[in-house]
Structure 1
Amino acid sequence: MCIAVFLWKAHPLYPFLILLNRDEYHNRPTKSLAWWEGGEILGGRDEQAGGTWLASTRDGRLAFLTNVRQLKSIPKAKSRGDLPVRFLKSKKSPMEFAEEIIIEADQYNGFNLIIADLCSMTMVYITNKIKDDTNFVTDVSPGIHVLSNASLDSPWPKATRLKDSFEDLLNKYGEGEAPIKEMTGELMRNMIKDEESMLPAIYPPEWEYHLSSIFVEAETPLGRYGTRSTSALSMKANGEVCFYETHLENESWEEQTVTYQIAIAE
């Protein structure tokens, strides 16, 4: 489970800004933020399946992913974390890639995938789990969006809390520079839970309660589960990309920031 809030083509300084929590079992092998694939892809990496939940490239490509809750899973499904990597390695436009992926979408368990070309400022949303389990592809409209474990902008209480708080902070800083690291800590560490969960009741009530907060912490029979890392990626109008991550390493929170430049189309 993950949750992300992002700003797209609706701010004079930040054409794109995302904050994202990755929730996973603490014992699942994971690599923290780093350049990989010959120094072309930047992001964290799931060492068990080899994929990622949020990553970008030097030539302006970006992808992020969340799982979609579902009652029944495909036993031998393809790894969803491989989808962002496939896009980042490809040369296709976001819509061309989406049209390719949607043909094979039923081979994956439920996913939300957002892919973008930040140089041309094009972004596409792909999912294989909306009503009636049909596939869906659309351009992402300008504005503030939240992606959790249902369709894009589904009004779950935790998603609404995050969107409202994000919008309030953006309004506070106006059109100027925002303290992204501080925003990340304030918004993505929120542990408010819903006593009466509005989540889809796929899991037992106690588990739904734990998952109803933006920042998740829970003990389970399979081990500790919760928010393993928090990421913030911003792109300024001049093409400067800043990728910040704080992640759990041996029960201690570590952080790092990588900055690079991309070319923006005129």
Structure 2
Amino acid sequence: MCIAAWIWQSHPVYKLLLVFNRDELLDRPTKPVGWWGEGCNKILGGRDVQGGGTWLGCTKDGRLAFLTNVLEPDVMAGAKTRGELPVRFLQSKKSPEEFAKEVAKEADDYNGFNLILADLCANIMVYVSNRPKGEEAASIQLVSPGLHVLSNAKLDSPWHKAQRLRKSFRELLWKHGDEEIPPEDIVEKLMRDTTKATKDMLPNTGCNADWELNLSSIFVDIDTKEGHYGTRSTDALSVNSNGNVNFYEKYIDSGVWKDLTVEYHIMKM
């Protein structure tokens, strides 16, 4: 299902500091963070081998996109893969607003999604979602400076896991003040939280209550009839005012947790 939290244009050190848990079947073929694509359209991010897309990616010209699914009881068979949306934006030359409007017109081709699109050089970040269905007027919005959390409902919806992550993120930022925070600390202190909601705190999504309960923690770990499902990678991405990017990922590979870091500089900043 995935969950992300980030502080945007509101920190003395970071232009953007983003953390992201990807939840998926553990045996779904996946490549860890790396550069892929051709020429000037190369993308830095993990890759879903089965669908060909990504959940989080960025480029050297300052484009960034990430995606979460919407938790809902019914999914559409034959829908387009949602992971293609970040890839399309990162490979395009359209502004976040232009691309969001394009996606909104195609909303019915996809199962429920939340999509963040950013141009870090232009200081623009946009949120677009295709849920609730038909809510076109509310489907696109500029993301304001500050701390935000996105789980499997609307941006900043007060779900249990989102509230816990917001609180712990704010506390971590306050503790470090104007110091940089090691990405390993960000991952361990924010994104490994297995605390579930109580049943009276669960959202009313129409899904099975036990499924909602198992997904109500920041870090997810579930045995299902389809296989083991849960948090299989965590990303911590930071961008400072000079355009230096640090992309850290902790991921599971054949039952073993590994980590890697890729650094680059945004060309236009």
Give TM-score scaled by structure 2 length.
0.95
1:223 aligns to what? 227
Displacement over 3 Å in runs of 4+: none
1:256 aligns with 2:256: no
1:10 aligns to what? 10
SS across alignment from 1:15: strand
Letter matched to residue 257 of structure 2: W
SS across alignment from 1:49: coil
Could you tell me which of 66, 84, 87 is aligned with 1:85?
Answer: 87
2:168 aligns to what? 165
Structure 1 residue 133 displacement after superposition: 4.3
1:214 aligns to what? 218
Letter matched to residue 2 of structure 1: C
Structure 1 residue 201 displacement after superposition: 4.6
Give TM-score scaled by structure 1 length.
0.96
1:60 aligns with 2:57: no
1:106 aligns with 2:108: yes
Structure 1 residue 181 displacement after superposition: 1.7
- Identical residues among aligned pairs (%): 53
Letter matched to residue 234 of structure 1: S
Contact 2:5–2:165 (Cα < 8 Å) also in 1: yes
Structure 1 residue 52 displacement after superposition: 0.4
Contact 1:6–1:146 (Cα < 8 Å) also in 2: yes
2:104 & 2:85 partners in 1: Cα distance?
11
Could you tell me which of 49, 52, 76 is aligned with 2:51?
Answer: 49
Letter matched to residue 198 of structure 2: E
1:233 aligns to what? 237
2:157 & 2:20 partners in 1: Cα distance?
16
Could you tell me which of 203, 208, 222 is aligned with 1:204?
Answer: 208
1:144 & 1:238 partners in 2: Cα distance?
21
Letter matched to residue 135 of structure 2: T
Structure 1 residue 94 displacement after superposition: 0.6
Q: Write the deviation string for residues 211-238 of structure 1: whole angstroms up to 9, x where unpaired.
A: 1110000101111000010001100011
Gaps of 5+ in 2: none
Could you tell me which of 229, 244, 250 is aligned with 1:246?
Answer: 250
Which has the higher mean CA deviation after the structures are superposed, 172-181 or 102-111? 172-181
* Superposed CA RMSD: 1.3
Contact 1:233–1:244 (Cα < 8 Å) also in 2: yes
Could you tell me which of 124, 129, 141 is aligned with 2:131?
Answer: 129
Contact 1:120–1:264 (Cα < 8 Å) also in 2: no
Q: Write the deviation string for residues 183-232 of structure 1: whole angstroms up to 9, x where unpaired.
A: 21111000011231413253322222211110000101111000010001
Q: Write the deviation string for residues 51-73 of structure 1: whole angstroms up to 9, x where unpaired.
A: 00001011110000000122322
1:63 & 1:115 partners in 2: Cα distance?
5
Contact 1:118–1:264 (Cα < 8 Å) also in 2: no
Contact 2:244–2:263 (Cα < 8 Å) also in 1: yes
2:23 aligns to what? 23
Structure 1 residue 255 displacement after superposition: 0.4
Gaps of 5+ in 1: none
